[in-house]
Each structure stands twice: as C-alpha cells, then as structure tokens.
C-alpha cells in the first residue's frame, strides 16, 4: 500500500510539472513574438517617418510662404502650417526657410517635431562648399541606440550640397 501511495504522488507531481512546462513555453513563445513584432515595428516606423520627413522637407510647405507668416519665438504661430524647405525648382532649398526652421528648432526643439510630422528625434545637416548647417539634435551627442539615415543632393543659394536627414532614438524597441 505504501508503494501505491508513492506512485500516485509521483504521477500527480509529473502531471503538474508537465502543465507548468507547457505554460512556461507558451508564455515564452508569446513574449518572444511580441518582442520581435515591437522591434520590427519600431524600425519600420522610423523608416516611414524618415521618408515622410525627407519628402516634407523637399516640398515648399503649406502655405508656400509659411516662413513669413510665423514668429520663430512664438510657438502659437506655428499652427496651421506645414514646414517645407523647398524653393523654386526640384531639389532646391530656400535659404530663408532653412534659417527659419533652424531658429524654430533652437527656440523649441520639441515643438518642431509634431510640425515636421515625426515622433522620434531628428537631425538635419546641409553640407557642401562653404555651407555647413545643422538643425535638430545630434544622435552622437545623445547616445542614439537606433537611427535611420537618408542623404539627398540639393541646391541651396546656388551651391550644390547634400542634405542628410536622420531620424533617431536613444530608447530600445524591445523589452527592457
């Protein structure tokens, strides 16, 4: 009788142990899938925001003379505009619009992010010849964890240059 009692306890313990292993495996699988989806979505989201930001910057914005209608030191005047740096002609940037965006970013960087349609941080450089302009926050100075980069040739003030647009974050996409 003593042997039978022990056998029933062992069988009961193995069933409980088996159920626990199945539950842990199920939970682990779901967390792993959620981590993979979150990570992929974050990078895809950054890429989508980068493409949208680049297209927006190369446009003239709405209205086309938006830079004359706002006060760079008053964020309340930034409503109802769409920021674009484009000038006359394809791939041409307006020096005045670039300087206006730079002043806006220097005044209130966080308020420029929704106006540019980005949720991540951004950094824009325009370089070529004697031109070296930087707008936003540098990912190197803020310890960026992930960044998406795009570079396009532009014409600014009659000079050839390259505009590099970086969308970046210093937070992880996965489970921390």
Give a yes or no: residue 136 inside a domain: yes
pLDDT digits (tens, 9 = 90+) for 64-101: 999 999 999 999 999 889 999 998 888 899 999 999 99
Q: Is the confidence at residue 174, as pLDDT, over 60?
A: no
Instruction: Give the residue numbers spanning the domain of 91.
Output: 6-169
User: Count of domains in the chain?
Assistant: 1
Give a yes or no: residue 122 inside a domain: yes
* Per-position b or e across 125-152, b if 16+ CB within 10 A of its CB: bbebeebebebbbebeeeebebbbeeee
**For residue 15, how far is the Cα from the chain centroid?**
48
Q: Is the confidence at residue 3, as pLDDT, over 90?
A: no
> Mean pLDDT across the chain, nearest whole number?
86
Give a yes or no: residue 147 inside a domain: yes
Give a yes or no: residue 176 inside a domain: no
| C-alpha span between 11 and 33 (Å, rounded) | 33
Structure tokens at 108: 């209130």
For residue 37, what pLDDT is reported?
A: 47
Tell me the CA distances in angstroms from 88 to 41, 128, 158, one per residue in order. 36, 19, 11
Please tell me the pTM assigned to this model.
Answer: 0.74
């Amino acid at each position: 009788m003593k042997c039978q009692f022990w056998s029933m306890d062992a069988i009961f313990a193995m069933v409980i142990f088996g159920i626990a292993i199945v539950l842990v495996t199920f939970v682990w699988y779901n967390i792993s899938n959620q981590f993979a989806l979150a990570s992929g979505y974050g990078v895809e989201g950054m890429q989508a925001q980068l493409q949208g930001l680049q297209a927006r910057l190369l446009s003239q914005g709405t209205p086309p003379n938006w830079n004359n209608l706002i006060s760079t030191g008053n964020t309340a005047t930034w409503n109802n505009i769409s920021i674009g740096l484009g000038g006359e002609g394809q791939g041409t940037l307006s020096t005045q619009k670039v300087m206006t965006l730079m002043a806006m970013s220097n005044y209130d960087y966080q308020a420029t992010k929704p106006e540019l349609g980005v949720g991540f941080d951004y950094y824009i450089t325009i370089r070529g010849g004697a031109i070296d302009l930087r707008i936003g926050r540098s990912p190197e100075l803020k310890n960026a964890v992930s960044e998406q980069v795009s570079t396009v040739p532009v014409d600014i003030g009659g000079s050839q240059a390259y505009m590099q647009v970086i969308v970046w974050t210093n937070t992880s996409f996965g489970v921390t």
